[in-house]
Amino acid sequence: MHYKISATHLSKNDNVFFKSMLQLIQIQLNDTWSYEETADIVLADIETPLGVAFWEESTQQQDKLVIAYARQNTCNAEWFLPKPIRVQALIKQLNAIATFKSTVQGAVQTSQTSENSPSSISTTKANLLGNIPNNTAQQVKPSDIPTNKPVSIEYFEPEHSLLGLIQSTIKKCETKCFTCEQGETIYISPQQKRCFTSKINFNHLTQKQRRLYASVAAQVTMTNLSEDALHQMAKAQGLENYAVETLLWLVTLCASQGRLMAGVAENSYVRLKQWPNFAVLPCQPVHLRIAAFMLKNATTLTTVSEKTRVDFSTLVDFFNACKVADLIVETTDQNVSTEAKPKSSAEQYLFKNILKRLSSHE
Amino acid sequence: MSEIKLVFTGSVGAGKTTAIEIISEIPVIRTDVRATDSETAKRKEKTTVAMDYGELTLEDGQKLRLYGTPGQQRFDYMWRILVKGALGLIILVDNAGSDPIGDLARYVDNFRDFVSNNQMVVGVTRMDIASEPDMDFYHQYFAERGIALPIFPVDARSKTSVVMLIQSLIAMLEFS
Amino acid sequence: MLSGEAIAKLESRLAQLLHDCDTIEAAVVSTLDGHMCTMRQQAQQYSLERLATMGSTLMSLGDTITAELNMGLCDNIISENQNGIVAFMHINNDLVLVTLTTQKNALGMLLSHSRRCAKEMAELL
Ligand SMILES: Nc1nc2c(ncn2[C@@H]2O[C@H](COP(=O)(O)OP(=O)(O)OP(=O)(O)O)[C@@H](O)[C@H]2O)c(=O)[nH]1
Ligand SMILES: [Mg+2]
């Protein structure tokens, strides 16, 4: 089935981001989705007055299916996509809409659906049995044609993202420039263990920064350059420089989108090897909470999420960043020593108050 | 909970007084006097002999009290007095001192009883003056002894650093 | 730090103090940052090293308190206890004299002898 979707009242950045994201996730969607200027399925930013008006009108008239796009679902919209756009949430939402549409319009579409399914089933079977003819296997080998490799919905695979490119540049000790369409530009000097780019506000990344950090390898343009050229460039553009660790950390936080790092079993017991050096690894208060718990306890991420009351996808992003920074230890035994005993509410109130006072200090 | 207090302790000249001064909202009550022994005097002019005291007022009017201990071992009776009833402990270690890892060991051991029910964090200061030992040595020291405490480089002259120390301590307290 | 000569002068004045007033059981001169300069006691019954550092702690707390209250310089701190009295006082900006007695009603004597001693020590240096 082919669905058309448009977007309205999104900021320019969000709009560009949404379009490229839509292309990016094609392979993970159960159906084909394309962006059109006008369509019956519309993503509307309801944090703008016009967006809300549009949403209200369409909901009343029931002529369009509108996905409310905002940080919070304040309108109690049936179809809702949280801000900022994340791969997983978008896939989930679009697939859900497709399922909804197909049940409503099911009868009409049966013939088309059945046309598609046999081929996909046969591929899966062939894969499972491991009996794909050699030539076919070569065609889909991801390392040969990275563009064809789907962005995994389930796992975060550094080798298919900017992160992997930076890591291999560091390994090979090559000075390189990385950028992507409408994204930030960064220069990496493995020799100096620094990266050069425009100022980063750790509490608030720009759209340009997010776009680059979260991009898949295929979207990234890399250029080799000499150390001298890098220096001239940095000077001419007044670039700031940061530790490479800082960048790897930020890129991972941005790119993992709630997907666990490939190769990590979800139910393995993990703990922090040591306290992350938050002087160079930018963190949010929620990261401190997780770190405090994971420093003392070895357990599954699900348990960590429960005990710290941090949502799983935020936890996973942080975990991946720690993993990249080599701060994670996998253990065979579970060891939950600090029973996160329920603190008295007075104590919790006090901690919150202290943290509040401190944040006004910064 | 009677008094809400945090205690800064750690080696001579690590920056306990400096740290309290940078975040306290009242002029710090300090008991620094001229250092007479050459060992201390060559590092800095003055040293704490009783305590430092600073304050932060919380939203509801409660005071968070910040105490600093003297760094020199001779004053260890003050450590015990000051640490009584504290919510948590911040240990500062001077990386440019003569035996920073030894200092870490001494302070952590000394306050071990305290840490069983309360919590502590460690900040390593003056890494810009002496880059050795690097953080790996500290981490290794902890790892070998199975000590799981936050430890990271800080600059006692920087508000952000000191705030980060307290934030980390509070995070640890939430799960203690 | 003080010269050997200066310490010798302090030592002999301290000996005189304990000779003149045998109610004073022990006396210590320490630097304001808590290093022992010299000590003397009638019988070898106290470990006075700790008293030297504690003397500096208390004296500077005293100075901090009087400064807070705009009361000028802290002359002395008296600790009256179940089994005796301890007095702490400045000799000068850098030195502290600590004296003690186990006689509970000897406060006057303790203070007057100690004060005179402190004053003369300041002049000696
Ligand atoms: N260069 C540098 N100087 C620092 C750093 N942290 C603290 N300092 C300086 O180190 C000195 C520390 O002095 P204090 O704050 O008096 O140290 P303290 O721990 O209170 O010492 P005691 O009371 O004698 O035990 C001050 O001069 C600070 O400015 C740092 O990270 N780098
Ligand atoms: Mg001090």
Contact state of B35 with C60 under an 8 Å Cβ cutoff: no
Contacts by residues C46-55 (CB-CB < 8 Å, ≥ 24 positions apart): C46/C100, C50/B77, C51/C26, C51/C98, C52/C28, C52/C98, C53/B49, C53/B74, C53/B75, C53/B77, C54/B77, C55/C28, C55/C30, C55/C88, C55/C96, C55/C98
Contact state of C1 with B29 under an 8 Å Cβ cutoff: no
- Beta strand pairing status for B119-125 and B151-153? parallel
Quote the pLDDT of residue B2: 60
pLDDT in tens, C7-37: 999 999 999 999 999 999 999 999 999 999 9
Question: What CATH number does the domain located at A2-140 have?
Answer: 3.40.50.2300
Residue A284 per-residue DSSP state: -
- Taking phi over 0 as left and psi of -120 to 50 as alpha, with beta for the rest, C55 belongs to alpha
Residues forming a β-bridge with B56: B64
**pLDDT > 90: percent of chain C:** 82
Q: What angle do CA A279, B94, B109 make, to 5 degrees?
A: 100
| Residue B118 with chain A: CB contacts under 8 Å | none
Instruction: Work out the mean pLDDT of chain C and round it to a whole number.
Output: 93
| Residue B167 with chain A: CB contacts under 8 Å | 285, 288, 355, 358
**Residue-wise pLDDT tens for chain A (362 aa)?**
889 999 999 888 788 888 878 877 877 788 889 888 888 899 999 888 888 888 888 887 878 899 999 988 887 888 899 988 888 888 888 988 888 887 776 544 443 333 333 333 333 333 333 333 333 333 333 333 334 445 566 789 898 899 999 999 999 999 999 999 888 999 999 999 999 999 999 888 898 999 999 998 888 998 898 998 888 888 888 999 999 999 999 999 999 988 999 888 888 999 999 999 998 999 988 999 999 999 989 999 999 999 898 999 999 999 999 999 999 999 888 877 765 555 678 888 899 999 999 888 65
pLDDT in tens, A123-158: 333 333 333 333 333 333 333 333 444 556 678 989
B96 close to A (CB below 8 A)? no
Mutate to test the interface with B, among A322, A355, A357 (most CBs of B within 10 A): A357
Domain ranges of chain B: 3-174
Residues forming a β-bridge with A180: A220
Among candidates C57, C64, C94 on the partner chain, residue whose Cβ is nearest the Cβ of B36: C94
pLDDT in tens, C30-68: 999 999 999 999 999 998 989 999 999 999 999 999 988
Strand ranges inside A31-88, DSSP E: 32-35, 41-45, 65-70, 80-82
- Higher-pLDDT residue of B114, C16: C16
Quote the pLDDT of residue A119: 36
**pLDDT > 90: percent of chain B:** 69
CATH of the domain at C101: 3.30.450.30
**Cα–Cα dist A172/A174, whole Å:** 6
Among candidates B34, B49, B78 on the partner chain, residue whose Cβ is nearest the Cβ of C94: B34
Chains C, A in contact, 3 or more Cβ pairs below 8 Å = no
What is the enclosing helix (H) or strand (E) of C112?
helix C107-124
Domain ranges of chain A: 2-140, 158-255, 269-360
Closest CA to A14 of A46, A56, A59: A46
Does residue C100 surpass a pLDDT of 60?
Answer: yes
**Cα–Cα dist C50/A222, whole Å:** 68
Quote the pLDDT of residue A144: 33
Contact B124, B95 (CB under 8 A): yes
Quote the pLDDT of residue B105: 94
The pLDDT-based confidence of B118 (bands split at 50, 70, 90) is low
Quote the pLDDT of residue B154: 96
**Cα–Cα dist A209/A232, whole Å:** 22
Amino acid at A43: L
Instruction: Work out the mean pLDDT of chain B and round it to a whole number.
Output: 91
Quote the pLDDT of residue B116: 67
Whether residue B71 has its Cβ less than 6 Å from ligand 1? yes
**Cα–Cα dist B93/B123, whole Å:** 6
CA atoms within 13 A on the CB side of A144: 7
pLDDT, mean of residues B12-34: 94
CATH 3.40.830.10 corresponds to the domain B3-174: no
Contact state of A356 with B4 under an 8 Å Cβ cutoff: no
To the nearest whole angstrom, how far is the Cα of B76 from the nearest Cα of chain C? 10
**Cα–Cα dist C74/B33, whole Å:** 15
Give the 3-state secondary structure of residue A118.
helix
**Cα–Cα dist A25/A152, whole Å:** 9
**Cα–Cα dist C8/C22, whole Å:** 21
To the nearest whole angstrom, how far is the Cα of B128 from the nearest Cα of chain A? 13
| Domain of residue C49, residue span | 4-124
**Cα–Cα dist B154/B164, whole Å:** 9
- Higher-pLDDT residue of C17, B175: C17
User: Where do we find the tokens 């406060």?
Assistant: C107
Closest CA to C50 of A73, A326, B77: B77
Residue B134 per-residue DSSP state: -
pLDDT in tens, B125-146: 999 999 999 999 999 999 999 8
**Cα–Cα dist A2/A64, whole Å:** 16
Quote the pLDDT of residue A105: 62
Does residue B117 surpass a pLDDT of 70?
Answer: no
Quote the pLDDT of residue A340: 55
The structural domain count of chain C equals 1
Neighbours of B (≥3 Cβ pairs closer than 8 A)?
A, C
Contact C54, B79 (CB under 8 A): no
The pLDDT-based confidence of B113 (bands split at 50, 70, 90) is confident
Quote the pLDDT of residue A56: 84
User: Where do we find the tokens 């300069």?
Assistant: C37
Give the 3-state secondary structure of residue B26.
coil
Strand ranges inside chain C, DSSP E: 26-31, 36-41, 76-81, 84-90, 95-101
CA atoms within 13 A on the CB side of A193: 4
In this prediction the ipTM stands at 0.92
pLDDT, mean of residues B21-49: 89
Neighbours of A (≥3 Cβ pairs closer than 8 A)?
B
* pTM of this prediction exceeds 0.80: no
